[in-house]
């Protein structure tokens, strides 16, 4: 169990940047190491970060090891360049990374600390139009279960045309 005081201690240890309430409801169910890692990540990249989902009953979030968020340059007005955001997220040693092009508030990210041995899916994925595309380790493309493929560059171009 993770209390608000423990979250505050983690934030203070790494120089601040969040308030406990930003980790949303049921934050006591979050994995302390994941929260600590996320706080360090936020302080490392220094972009305005809005947490959109933490613990919930489905998927990797149900283990308390996943956080969804958005980056902002201007709070809720303008996001950084999409490729730049992807590079920031993939430079940090997350175990799982998803980029979501179909969120109503902008391009969002999922990150998690689930170890490779416990993974039920590949390390990186794209969600576009409610479809999940998982990255191939052999060629870097992202594949849907139907066999359809895409690339990060293609999805960025499609998103920016909207």
Task: Kindly give the confidence (pLDDT) of every residue in the chain, 162 residues in length, as a single tens digit, with 9 standing for 90 and above.
Answer: 688 999 999 888 887 678 898 999 899 999 999 999 999 999 999 899 999 999 999 888 999 999 999 999 888 889 999 999 999 999 999 999 999 999 999 999 999 999 888 776 669 999 999 999 999 989 999 999 999 999 999 999 999 996
| 79 CB neighbour count, 10 Å cutoff | 19
pTM of the model: 0.91
Phi first, then psi, for residue 74 (nearest 5°) are: -115, 125
Name the one residue in this structure whose structure tokens are 């175990």. 95
| 132 CB neighbour count, 10 Å cutoff | 16
The token pair at 135 is 């990255």
In angstroms, the CA 81 to CA 94 distance is: 20
Cβ proximity of 107 and 82 under 8 Å: yes
Compute the Cα dihedral for 34, 90, 127, 46 and give only its sign. positive
First to last CA, the chain: 42
In angstroms, the CA 39 to CA 78 distance is: 22
The token pair at 133 is 């595309």
In angstroms, the CA 103 to CA 156 distance is: 14
């Amino acid at each position: 169990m993770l209390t608000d005081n423990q979250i505050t201690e983690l934030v203070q240890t790494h120089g601040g940047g969040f308030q406990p309430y930003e980790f949303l409801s049921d934050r006591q169910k979050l994995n302390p190491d994941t929260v600590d890692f996320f706080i360090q990540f936020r302080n490392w990249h220094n972009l305005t970060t809005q947490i959109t989902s933490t613990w919930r009953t489905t998927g990797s979030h149900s283990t308390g090891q996943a956080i969804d968020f958005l980056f902002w340059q201007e709070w809720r007005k303008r996001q950084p360049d999409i490729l730049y955001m992807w590079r920031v997220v993939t430079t940090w040693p997350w175990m799982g990374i998803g980029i979501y092009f179909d969120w109503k508030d902008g391009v969002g990210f999922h990150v998690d600390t689930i170890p490779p041995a416990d993974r039920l899916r590949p390390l990186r994925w794209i969600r576009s139009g409610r479809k999940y595309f998982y990255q191939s380790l052999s060629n870097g493309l992202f594949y849907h279960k139907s066999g359809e493929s895409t690339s990060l560059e293609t999805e960025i171009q499609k998103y920016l045309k909207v």
